[in-house]
Amino acid sequence: MEQFATVMATPKTSLLSTIPSDKARWNVLAAEELDHFNMDWMGKYRGKSSCVIKPKSAEELSAIMRICYENNIAIVPQGGNTGLVGGSVPVHDEVVVNLSSMNKIRSFDTMAGTLVCDAGCILEVLDDYVANEGYMMPLDLGAKGSCHIGGNVAANAGGLRFLRYGSLHGSVLGLEVVLPNGDIITGLQTLRKDNTGLDLKQLFIGSEGTLGIITGVSIATPPRPKSVKLAMFGLDSYEAVQQTFRTVRKYCGEILSAFEFVDADTFNVVMNSKVQSHKNPFTEPHRMYVLVETSGSNKEHDDEKMQLLLEELLESGLISDGVLAQDETQIRALWAIRENIPESLGHLGKVYKYDVSLPIEKMYDLVDAVKLQCQKHRILGVSPGEDLVLAVGGYGHIGDGNLHINVAAKGYLAEVENALEPFIYEFVASVRGSISAEHGLGLMKADKIGYSKDLVSIDCMKRIKRVFDPKGLLNPYKYLPSRN
C-alpha cells in the first residue's frame, strides 16, 4: 500500500465512491482523525470535510484532481495549517489535500545554492539541511517548525528576514503545480534567469491555493552568514524607532538582516505569559522595543560595525537602554521574545490578527487609533474585569512597513469584530496601505480586497482564476476570485 496516497475519510464520502476500484487500496482512516485537518490552529475557522487525502507524488495528486474535476468536487490544499486567515481549512465539506506526505528533498546544487524539494517539506528541516552546505533558507518565520515550504510559497510568506533576502517572488526559481483538471506544470527549473514567456510561477506565489496545488519548489538559497549578532533596544517613542532604523541602516548597511519593533503592551504580554518564561533583558520599562540583527561574512568587521552603531545610538540619546547578545543562547533568548508573541497573546484570549502594510511614518498611528476605537466602543478601558478586549498589541517589520496589530479578546465576539472592522480596513485604505501585507486573504478577508485593489485588477484576477479553475473547485468560498 505504500505507493498510494493516504486517504482519510468516512466511508460515504463522495470522492471515495468515485475513486476507481484499482485505487481503493488507499488507506481509509477514522472520522475522528479528521478534526485536526478541519480546524485552524487558532481555533477560529472550522470546516466539515469528511475526506483528507495525502498524496505522495504529483502524478498521484494529478489522478486525484482529475477525478475531483470530473465529479465537481471542491478541494482545499493544506500545508502545515499554520495560516492566520482561515485559508488552509475547509469551509464546508471540501476535500482536504494535505501535502505532508510529500516531504523529500529532490536535489541541492552546492555550487549554485539551488534547492529543489517537495512542497510538504517543513521550512526548518530545509534550513537545517542547507545549513550543512553553508547556505540558509531565504525566509524565516515563527511557524518555521511546522509550516511547509509549499504553503510558504502559496501564501507568499514574508517573515523576519524579508528586509535582507527579499520576496519569494525573487527567490523562487521554479514550481511544480498540479492544476484543477489534473494537468501538471513541470516547472522545477533551477535557473536564476529565464525570460522565455510569461513567468507563470509568479501567479502561484501568493495565490493561496486558488489556481493549482504546488507539489514541488525550486528555490535560491543565500550563503549562510558566518557571523550573526543581535541587539535589543528600549526606546521612548515610535519616532525614536524610525530614527533608530535610519541610523542602523547607515552603520550596518549590507549586514542588516532584521529590524523588528515591539510595543510595550505586546512586550509585557510576553513577559507575563505563563506559556513560556522569559527573562526581561531590561531593568526599566520602555515604550518601544527594537530588535536589530546583523548577518555577515567577517566577524571582526561585523563586531566593529555593531560597536560603531551602539556608540552613535547611545551618544545621540535615541535609545534609552540596550543589550547585545553575547552568545548563541542569548541570541535565541532575545529572538524568543519576538517569536512567542502570537502564542502569548493566544494564551491571554482569542486573538484578532491584522497584518497590514502602511507608510512607515504612519504605522503606529493605527495602533493608537485602534485603542481609541475600542475605548469608544466601551470594550476597552471600562474596567479590567468587564473589558471584552484584554490587550491591543502592535509589532512588526519596520523596514518592510509591515505592522501586525493583534487584539486579544474574551472571545470571537460580534461586539469586538464590529469595533475593529471595517475600521482597520478603512484606516489602511485611507493611507493607501495593504489590508494584507503577508498573511493573505483567506476566508477572513476574501471580500475585503477592494480596500487595496482597483476594480480593473480585481476583474483581471477573476478572469485568470477562470483560466486555471473554470469550475471554481479550488479553495472556493475564499480569496476573491472564487467568490464572484
Residue 436 is classified by DSSP as: B
218 lies in the site for its own copies, by CB under 8 A: no
200 lies in the site for its own copies, by CB under 8 A: yes
**In the complex with its own copies, which residue's Cβ is closer, 92 or 250?**
250
**In the complex with its own copies, which residue's Cβ is closer, 47 or 440?**
440
142 lies in the site for its own copies, by CB under 8 A: no
**Cα–Cα dist 154/204, whole Å:** 6
Beta strands, E only, 359-425: 389-397, 402-409
Per-residue string for binding with its own copies, 16-55, x by CB under 8 A? ----------------------------------------
**Cα–Cα dist 434/342, whole Å:** 21
Interface residue with its own copies, options 111, 315, 386, 414 (CB under 8 A): 111
**In the complex with its own copies, which residue's Cβ is closer, 179 or 214?**
179
**In the complex with its own copies, which residue's Cβ is closer, 279 or 466?**
466
Binding to its own copies (CB under 8 A) within 336-395 occurs at 357, 359-361
Contact 215, 150 (CB under 8 A): yes
Interface residue with its own copies, options 202, 268, 330, 373 (CB under 8 A): 202
Interface residue with its own copies, options 95, 141, 228, 255 (CB under 8 A): 255
**In the complex with its own copies, which residue's Cβ is closer, 50 or 295?**
295
Interface residue with its own copies, options 59, 304, 368, 426 (CB under 8 A): 304
Q: At 415, phi and psi to the nearest 5?
A: -60, -40
315 lies in the site for its own copies, by CB under 8 A: no
**Cα–Cα dist 216/204, whole Å:** 12
**Cα–Cα dist 37/7, whole Å:** 12
130 lies in the site for its own copies, by CB under 8 A: no
Contact 221, 95 (CB under 8 A): no
Tallying the residues shown for the chain, one arrives at 484
Contact 228, 331 (CB under 8 A): yes
Listed residue (147, 164, 261, 47) closest to 156, CA to CA: 147
303 lies in the site for its own copies, by CB under 8 A: no
Residue with cell 518592510: 400
Listed residue (467, 463, 466, 462) closest to 449, CA to CA: 462
287 lies in the site for its own copies, by CB under 8 A: no
Separation of first and last alpha carbons in the chain: 41
127 lies in the site for its own copies, by CB under 8 A: no
In the complex, the smallest distance separating the C-beta of residue 164 from its own copies, rounded to whole angstroms, is: 9
Interface residue with its own copies, options 71, 132, 186, 326 (CB under 8 A): 186
In the complex, the smallest distance separating the C-beta of residue 475 from its own copies, rounded to whole angstroms, is: 13
Binding to its own copies (CB under 8 A) within 462-481 occurs at 463-465, 467-468, 479-481
In the complex, the smallest distance separating the C-beta of residue 204 from its own copies, rounded to whole angstroms, is: 9
In the complex, the smallest distance separating the C-beta of residue 242 from its own copies, rounded to whole angstroms, is: 7
84 lies in the site for its own copies, by CB under 8 A: no
14 lies in the site for its own copies, by CB under 8 A: no
Per-residue string for binding with its own copies, 401-430, x by CB under 8 A? xx----------------------------
| Residue at 459: amino acid letter | D
Region of residue 404 (phi > 0: left; psi between -120 and 50: alpha; otherwise: beta): beta
In the complex, the smallest distance separating the C-beta of residue 131 from its own copies, rounded to whole angstroms, is: 16
Interface residue with its own copies, options 225, 281, 342, 394 (CB under 8 A): 225
In the complex, the smallest distance separating the C-beta of residue 414 from its own copies, rounded to whole angstroms, is: 25
Strands 51-54 and 95-98, how do they pair? parallel
**Cα–Cα dist 112/267, whole Å:** 40
**In the complex with its own copies, which residue's Cβ is closer, 56 or 465?**
465
**Cα–Cα dist 47/32, whole Å:** 14
Radius of gyration of the chain (CA): 23
183 lies in the site for its own copies, by CB under 8 A: yes
Residue 356 is classified by DSSP as: E
Binding to its own copies (CB under 8 A) within 157-176 occurs at 158, 162, 166-167, 169-171
215 lies in the site for its own copies, by CB under 8 A: no
**Cα–Cα dist 248/260, whole Å:** 12
In the complex, the smallest distance separating the C-beta of residue 358 from its own copies, rounded to whole angstroms, is: 8
CA separation, residue 325 to residues 229, 287, 328, 468 (Å): 7, 21, 8, 49
Contacts of 258 (CB under 8 A, 6+ apart): 160, 161, 163, 164, 291, 292, 293, 397
